[in-house]
Structure formats: C-alpha cells, structure tokens
Amino acid sequence: MSVYRSNYLPWSRIRPLGSVSATLVLVGTTVLAPFSLPNAYASSAPRFVTPAAHQALTSTAATDTILDLDITLTEEDGGRSTHKDHAPAPAALYTLEQFMFTGSVNWGGYRFTYYSQQVLPGGGLAIPGRHVNAGGYVSDGDGYIVLAGSAPKGTVYETPFGYPGKIYDRGTVGNHLDVYIL
C-alpha cells in the first residue's frame, strides 16, 4: 500500500497548482481584454473600445420588382392562333402567384409542385403547340397544362389551377405531379 500512496501524493500536490494556474489565466484574460486586437486598430487615441453609435433598421416600401409575373400574349400565325386555351375557370383554387408562393399544393389526392420551363426550354419534350397560356402555365396546343408524373404519357388530370393537365414528362413518382410554368 505504501507504493500506492507514494504515487498518489505527487498528484495531490500538483492538483492545487493546476487550479491556481487556471484561475490566473482566467483573471489575466479578463484584465487584458480591453487591450485586445480591436483596440490595436482603433483610429482614435483612447485605448478602450468606445461604444458604437446607435444602429437602427428602417424598412421602406420596395419599389423594385423581384419576380415579374406579368404575362404578355402575342398573336401567332398572322392573327390566327392555333392554341385552344381553356379560359381560367372560376373553379381555379390557386393562381400562379399563390402556387409559386406555397411551392406545393395538395389537392384531390395529388401533390402538385412546379417546374420552370426555363430549365427545359423549347422543344425538349416535343409538345405539340407548346406555349404559355394566359395563366402563366406551359400548355399544349389543346390547352392542357404540361405535367410530369409517373403515369403513362397522355394521361389527363384535373388540377386546382383552372386548367386540366396532361402528362408529357417523367420525374416524379406516385401521386406527385410537376406542373410546368413560365
């Protein structure tokens, strides 16, 4: 047992020394804090950091448009448009703006999300009569809005956006449908 005590005694003498050292470091850091790096670069003569001027955040009405959702329609084929747009039905539960704000709509057992045609512009899907309808949705020549889903291509769905939709692309699974927008 004397061997154990001889090994134990040096640690009992060092432990208080470590405690005192840690206390000195803490107190020394607190005392030297006013002379720290921010004061070394201060342009004024005082050695202590001066309090900053009062800061305030004021909000004003924004005048710049972040996202322009205005849609302009042009006549094609010398005034003879070949598109058979379905007029926005009064049963449209969501406008394009509302849809984009929410990002996802659960309706009729389906989850609708949107996908911008800017990612896949032009004839990437070979949609006959592809255009942007009055509501801002990418549509085919028959007025169906373009959808992506796992159902067979050509499957028609009712949507909460006032236009029926038709599957032209893949990319979602099950009851999830992507709606192509401007």
Domain containing 108 equals 96-181
b/e per residue 117-132 (b: at least 16 CB within 10 A)? beebeeeebebeebbb
Residues 36, 100, single domain; the answer is no
pLDDT band at residue 77 using 50, 70 and 90 as cut-offs:
very low
**Beta strands 176-181 and 145-148, pairing class:** antiparallel
Assess if residue 17 is contained within a domain: yes
Task: Give the mean pLDDT of the chain.
Answer: 76
On the CB side of 130, how many CA atoms lie within 13 Å of its CA? 16
Q: How many domains, in total, are found in the chain?
A: 2
Instruction: Please give the structure tokens belonging to residue 131.
Output: 């255009």
Residue 70, domain member (yes or no): no
**pLDDT tens digit string along 105-136?**
999 999 999 988 777 666 667 888 989 898 89
> Could you tell me if 176 and 100 lie in one domain?
yes
Whether residue 171 is contained in a domain is answered as yes
Share of the chain above pLDDT 70, in %: 59
Average pLDDT over residues 131-158: 92
Q: How confident is the model at residue 9 (pLDDT cuts 50, 70, 90)?
A: low
- The answer to the question of residue 62 being in a domain is no
Is residue 51 included in any domain, yes or no? no
In a domain, 52, yes or no: no
Asked whether residue 69 is domain-assigned, the answer is no
Smallest CA-to-CA distance from 69 within 116, 24, 104 is with 116
Average pLDDT over residues 16-43: 74
Per-residue pLDDT of 31-51, as tens digits, reads 777 666 665 555 555 555 555
| Residue 47 resides in a domain | no
101 and 26 in a common domain:
no
Alpha carbon of 33 to those of 38, 40, 46, 47, 138: distances in Å?
10, 12, 14, 11, 63
C-beta of residue 106 within 8 angstroms of C-beta of residue 100: no
Calpha distance 136→71 (Å, rounded) = 7
Residues in the chain: 182
Same domain, 101 and 177: yes
